Every structure is written in C-alpha cells, then in structure tokens.
Amino acid sequence: LQKEVSALSTKFSTNIAEDATEIEVDSLEQLAGVPEPIVKQLTTRQKSEGGGDVIVEVAETRKRMARAFENRAHPQNLAILQDIIQKRHQIAVLLGFPSYSHLDLDSKMAKRPETARAFIDDLIPALQKKWAQELASLKENLHSSVILTADGSIPSYDIAFCMNYAKKTRLNVSETTIQEYFPLTSTVAALFDIYESFFAIRFEKLENAADLCLFPRDGKFTHACCHSVIPPIRQSHDGSYSPALSVVIANFPKGTADTPALFLHDDVETFFHEFGHAIHGLMGRSRMPTMAGTRVKRDFVELPSQMLEEWLWDSKILQRVTKHYKTGEALPKELIAAKIASQNAFSGRDSLRQLVFATYALELFGPSASSTVDTSQVFYDIQDRILPGIQFSRDTHFECAFGHLTGYAATYYGYMWSEVFAQDVFEYIRQRDGLLSSTLGKRYRDMILGCGGGKDPSDMLEAFLERKPNANAFFKKIGI
C-alpha cells in the first residue's frame, strides 16, 4: 500500500508540473493594468502561472485566469487523489488508527488531529473579526471593474486584485514599483551576505557547479521548495560531518531584453524562506540520517524558514538588500515605511485562507475518508464556513493542484502551528538587535538548527528562549 501511495503521489505531482493550461486574450485591452515589462514577457499563447489577476483591471480576464489556475491538473488528479485518500485510510486502519490523520499526527508536536483542529478553531473567530474589518475597508474603495454580488459578497477572482488595489491607493504601496529595487543578481548576493553575517558562515561558489535554477520551464515543479538531498551526518569515528546537499527550486519572473529579472517583495520572502530550509538542511547535524537536517517533526519544520521571512520586514534590512536596477539606489525610506505598514493589512484574510487549507487536509484524511468523497464539495463547504463575504465559484477544483496533499498530507496545519513559534523566536532576536548578530545567530544555529530532529522542539525552544514559548508575538504579528 505504501508503494502504491508513493506511485500515485508521484503521478499527482507530475500532472501538476506538466499541466499545460492556457488562456488567450484577443487584444491588449483585455490586459489593461498589466505593466508593459510583464506584457512583453507574454507569448501569443501564454500559460497561466497565476498572479496576473492581482493587477489586471479587466474583470473577465481576472475571472478566466483564476478559473484556469484553480483547475490545473483537473480532471486527471481527481481519481488519483481519491485513491490516495482510500489507500492511506487502509494503511491507518491496518496499523490500529481510526484515520490517516491520527496516524500522520501521532509523531508530530500536536499528537492528535483533535488538538490541531482545536488550534485552528480557536483562531478562527478573532481572525474572522479582523477579516470583517478588512472586507468593509475593501468595499469602501472598490475599483470600477469590481461588481459585488446580490448579497454584497466579492467574487473570489476579485479578492487579490482588490487587496492589491487597496494597498496601492490607500497605503501607497505599489508592488511593481518596489519590484524595480529587487534585481535578481544583487538581491541574491545581498541575501547571502545577510545569511553569512547572522549564521557566521561563508558561501563559496564551486567552479563548474550548476547555477541557481530559479525560473519556470516546461515540466518543472511549479511552486517553490527546498529538498534536502544529502543530510549532514556526524561521523562516529572522529566527530566530523559528511558534506550535506540541499537544493532550492523556484519559479520567479524572467527578465526581458530591456530589464533584468526582478523580484517582487513576495518573491524575496519566498527565496529567504526556502533558503532557510536549505540552511536547516545543512546545519541540522546528527549521527542518524533519519534525524539529520530538516528531518524534524513536520509541524515544526517550517519554523526556521518562516522566521527568516521576517528579516524582509525590517527597515534596515530592506535598505541593505534593495538596489534599483537602473540607478543603483536603495528603496526610499517612505516606500519602506509604507510597505512595512501594510504587512498586517490583510492578515485576517491571509491567515484564514491558510486555515481553510489546514482544515481541508485534516478533513480529507479524517475518519470519514472514503474513495467516494466529493473532494471539491468538501473544499467549497470549508471555504464558505471559514471565509465569509466571498463568493467562491463552484466550477473549480483547487485540490487537483494542491501538491501539499501528497507530501504534507494531514499536517498542513503545521504552517500556522510553527508560525507561532517562529514569531516568538524572531521577537526574541529582534528585541536584542540581533538580525545581523553572529553571536545570536550562532546560538540559534547551535541550539535549534544544529539539533536536527534529535531533540523535542518544545525543549529546544524553551532552552533558546530561556522561558516557555508563547503566542504573544504571533498575535501581535497578525494584528489580533
């Protein structure tokens, strides 16, 4: 059964990577609002990679792009997902568990799906209250192309566009303007410099080694991730460590003949996040390969990468890593201030969206799992319950391209669970002015990263923080 699930999971991921969904537009008018450099990157038959619906000012184009993106790998992955659900349930029952969720969480920090559900359900009311405020604010500042439904809801394909429009018009944050200060080459070099300063390490480029592969190509994994290929193993005979290897995979916007590849701020966060996994994969040393690198409890593994995202919301760090691709100037202080002020602008919606995914994963692999479950309807019902005020379509099948269902399975809640600890650790470092402190970085490296999976996460955190971890910094970060 495990081999069958593995084969099905590989096919599921392959179908996502090889999806060739396209949309066509008849004229440039249908791409109104899209900056010229992005338009120049489009071919006559441009694959939808998602994201364009954030800036295009034509509602019908946004709708078509959203539908295309949310129907990737459909219908072929529907039957595969149902087979995975059924076989995982069979494995759990054979091992004496009532569901795969129970089996999957048995070795995690949460221990039981009931604990994970309680964690999620406790967050929802406060986040829905914040989302209600955000939604009211969006409705006060609608672009003329956005039409509310009869009951006053915003169509789901308009939400990202509305949030971006609000940031630009009310918060004075233009993501495309900020993007000009993040050319790939200088940004990557600056980020490496920060890692060297904080972790007290040095990067050296190997001659004849493969360069970074950061751009989309046909058949490539479509998201961003990090794979620990060779874990850092301590040799028993002399205490030395074998060389480790981590691989970062990403799909960032390509450059053109006129402009270099430029990161969005969100792209820089993603790179920082995935490289955080890479550092963990190199530093988590253990005598046991199964406990080395990122081989820690699944609901803890995101902490090192999530924490490092916060560096990109510090004014001094932003001045240090930005460099306009034409003038070489750093991001102006007023833009930095506006960007930082916007961090929690829509944290209610963003957090609830994560809880939708977390709840969905727990539900699919729960006690009621079966090969006949309507995976799309389950998703529709959860969206409606957790994220009110949005009209979600009933002709999409997001789960067919939800790659985390094969790897993370029932433990997607771990993103939010580990975020609680990530914010606690970050605040500890920030309060000590330690974002570039090699002293604090080495302490963090040795006491948390360097343990691999050899210690209980709660014990590592308490030792590093010199107290029991709490959620205060997390609630402050998301504004509730």
Counting Cα atoms < 13 Å in the Cβ hemisphere of 384 gives 10
Q: In sequence order, what are the residues at sequence separation of 6 or more whose Cβ sits closer than 8 angstroms to the Cβ of residue 474? A: 419, 420, 423, 424
Q: Taking Cα atoms as reference points, which of 478, 351, 343, 479 lies closest to residue 416?
A: 351
Please identify which of the residues 274, 310, 399, 419 carries the catalytic annotation. Answer: 274
Q: What is the bridge-based pairing of β-strands 154-155 and 225-230?
A: unpaired
Is residue 132 within 8 A of residue 386, CB to CB? The reply is no
| 274 included as an active-site residue | yes
Catalytic positions, please?
A: 274
